[in-house]
Structure 1
Amino acid sequence: MYAMVLAARGAPLVFQERPDPLPGPGEIRIKVSACGVCRTDLHVVDGELPDLSYPIIPGHEVVGRIDALGDGVTEPAIGMRVGVPWLGQTCGVCSYCRMGRENLCDRPQFTGYTRDGGFATHLVADARFCLPLGLSGDDVALAPLLCAGLIGWRSLVMAGDGKNDGKNIGIYGFGAAGHIIAQVARSQGRSVYAFTRKGDHDAQSLARSLGADWAGASDDKPPVELDAAIIYAPVGALVPQALRAVRKGGRVVCAGIHMSDIPAFPYDILWGERQIVSVANLTRQDGIDFLGAWAGANLQIHTTVFPLDQANEALARLRDGALVGAAVLRP
């Protein structure tokens, strides 16, 4: 197999040939056909997440086909197309797992962070945590759904149901997750207000083309009070800006796994029963709910495709904000 390997914090990924991995009990081996490049991969490469062990292969938006089964695995079967998301394994016995909140597991494993991921031609995954993808849909277009879509979906649900709450939604950071979830929100009858970096006219044009009611810079005031705001950009300074944009009783959802420090802000912009909440990982049920409803839907997934050995270029363009939509690696 071939892989892009992170050997040390902040180092460029190195293209390496390795022996093909063998699946252990309960595991499957997947031949990767596409792997999305997520901002969390930048946090891994930059060493911004705790307890990183090197070397590690990043990548957690994996689409591929099963080519080997470990002992005890009967489903999914060889040849099936599956997706491998961020949540790679849970303990199943801690209090959070027992209460159905496996996204908060005390002893989790994460694809591309604590176990090797999909910036490779092959990877091994726990069969229980792989998501069936069926036959419809393009591999490249499906890849961003495995994190940008799933985390986006969880954050949208937390923002309100779109009927009794969460009708007017602000989206801060209109990249991979933002451009997917804006379409889902619009299809649910919500109004979408997109916030981008100042001067990012390409992202604002994309937002309008996907049905956003308004698009502007992150420090602009939207034309209406928002019921909720979802922050996908890892910028803590957006939290007080979003609080100023939401109505009384509104909610600000922080959807990233890592964010820069939130600056001090006056209490009056939180007062009025406004809330700040975070999204932590995802559950397998999130995957079933989202992919079951949206994987075959007419979502326009905007991607830029890179060969596997150009993963560093894809990461650099993501860091610089030079991508519209999502980057996807193809081995």
Structure 2
Amino acid sequence: MSAPARPTPATTTAWIVDHTAPAAENPLRLVERPLAATGARDLLVEVAACGVCRTDLHLAEGDLAPHLPHCTSGHEIVGRVMRIGNEVSGFEPGDRVGAAWLAGTCGECRYCRSEQENLCPRSTYTGWDRHGGYARHTVVDARFAYHLPEGLPAEELAPLLCAGIIGYRALERAQLPPGGRLGIYGFGASAHLTAQLALSRGATVHVLTRAEAARRLALDLGAASARGAYDAPPEPLDSAILFAPVGDLVPVALAALDRGGTLAVAGIHLTDIPALNYRQHLFQERTLRSVTANTRADGLAYLAEATRRRPTVHVQSYPVEQAPEALADLAADRITGVAVLMAD
């Protein structure tokens, strides 16, 4: 049952990207800032948990140019609605909700009209264009929020809202045939959820990643093999997904594909790709595809599938006050699975 609206706080405690620097040098700063106004179509959300995504790291370290000065990062948000705007329908105070990377689109361009809103030129993003979830409270456009089930731990739900959704889209873009052979390059937050999704659909999964702990996790989750990032898989691949932001792995993954195979590159940032050899990497109808954000339909489809086939989410949790430590641990590959910031 929905709870009555509580008084709206005027300020919130939040981490902001104070300046860009390596995560080990702590580019974040804790502030008490005015809470963004709740617009007519917005939800005021009290944050319970927020996942720590590699995109947050790219923003803090300067790989992605900032859009909103002194922005609060975080786009895997689980919380409770405190107040709703006067044009909001479908949400009530007390509802459990999630906010993901896609924060807004124009709704009018040819991409929005053709079920490709992730390509909208005027799209906006949580923790990049709008303040995100490394905070006690945040404001979310209700049209881009998700109802979340009760009874599941917030720290397990949070990673589903980006790591899970982006992995879902990447798997769709990789065009894995039924019962196919999937290669996953890099095995962090998104990859360990995507592997489970592919396995639940009957795929054979081979993991290629540099960290020994990640390889052990992959085998524990059911991968058929787990090898070094630059190693060849034990058999040709029908599809592959590159999660590691390492351009050098693009030709490696393409060379591992069987005829007609597809490589989907899942990251928002990638180091430069070296020269490709046409015969070795692309001939025989191999395909190279990028993955750009997600649509709300992706989010709804993935959350429905994850509810039916609940994944094992390997969480390393931190109090929200330790956001800089979580980001530094992510940068140093000290996290196996996902990092999540937790409110008191």
TM over 0.5: yes
Give how far 1:117 is off. Answer: 0.4
d(CA) in 1 for partners of 2:115 and 2:234? 39
Q: Deviations over 1:127-148 (max 9, x none)?
A: 0000111213110001000000
Name the counterpart of 1:47: 62
2:113 pairs with one of 69, 91, 98: 98
Query: Is this contact kept in 1: 2:207–2:227, CA < 8 A?
Result: yes
Letter of the 2:326 counterpart? A
Offset at residue 47 of structure 1 (A):
2.0
Q: Which runs of 5+ in 1 are unaligned?
A: none
Q: 1:68 to 1:257 in 2, by over 3 A?
A: same
CA drift of 1:318 comes to 0.7
Shift of 1:161: 4.6
Rounded to whole Å, the distance in 1 between the matches of 2:308 and 2:326 is 26
1:5 aligns with 2:16: yes
Say if 2:186 is the partner of 1:173. Answer: yes
| 1:44-63 CA distance string (max 9 Å, x none) | 11222235331100000000
Q: How does 1:307-322 map to 2 (within 5 A)?
A: 307-322=319-334
Q: Distance in 1 between matches of 2:206 and 2:40?
A: 47
- Paired residues in the alignment total 327
Could you tell me which residue of structure 2 aligns to residue 183 of structure 1?
A: 196
Are 1:218 and 2:233 counterparts?
no
Report the equivalent of 1:244.
255
Is the contact made by 2:200 and 2:309 (CA closer than 8 Å) also made in structure 1?
A: no
Q: Which amino acid aligns with 1:180?
A: L
The more displaced of 264-273 and 48-57 is 48-57
What secondary structure sits across from 1:18 in the alignment? strand
Q: Is the 8 A contact 2:44 2:84 kept in 1?
A: yes
CA-to-partner distance for each residue in 1:69-123, whole Å, 9 max, x for gaps? 1121132111111110000000011111111110000101100001100000100
Matching of residue 202 in structure 1 with residue 213 in structure 2? yes
Deviates more, 1:243-252 or 1:292-301: 292-301
- Contact kept, 8 Å, 1:136 with 1:296, in 2: the verdict is no
What is the aligned partner in structure 2 of residue 279 from structure 1?
291
Take 2:49 and 2:177, find their aligned partners in 1: how far apart are those partners?
A: 33
User: Distance in 1 between the 2:81 and 2:159 partners?
Assistant: 19
Whole-Å separation in 1 of the counterparts to 2:307 and 2:51:
15
Over residues 271-300 of structure 1, what are the superposed CA-to-partner deviations in whole Å (9 max), with x where a residue is unaligned?
111010000000000011000111353311
1:259 matched to 2:292? The reply is no
Structure 2 Cα separation of the partners of residues 176 and 291 of structure 1: 16
List alignment gaps of at least 5 residues for structure 2.
Answer: 1-11
Q: Which residue of 1 aligns with 2:310?
A: 298
Counterpart-to-counterpart distance in 1, 2:134 and 2:109 = 31
Q: Within 5 A, what are the aligned runs for 1:41-120? A: 41-50=56-65, 52-120=67-135
TM-score where L is the length of structure 2: 0.92
For the 8 Å contact 2:118–2:295, the answer to whether it is kept is yes
Contact in 2 for aligned 1:34/1:63 (Cα 8 Å): yes
Tell me the TM-score normalised to structure 1 length. Answer: 0.96
Q: Is the 8 A contact 2:177 2:238 kept in 1?
A: no
Give the stretch that moved more between structures: 106-115 or 72-81.
72-81
Distance in 2 (alpha carbons) for counterparts of 1:80 and 1:4: 25
Matches of 2:312 and 2:74 in 1, distance apart? Answer: 22
Shift of 1:21: 3.7
* Match among 37, 53, 58 for residue 22 of structure 1: 37
For 1:265 and 1:74, how far apart are their aligned partners in 2? 51
Equivalence for 2:160: 145
The answer as to whether partners of 2:208 and 2:227 remain within 8 angstroms in 1 is yes
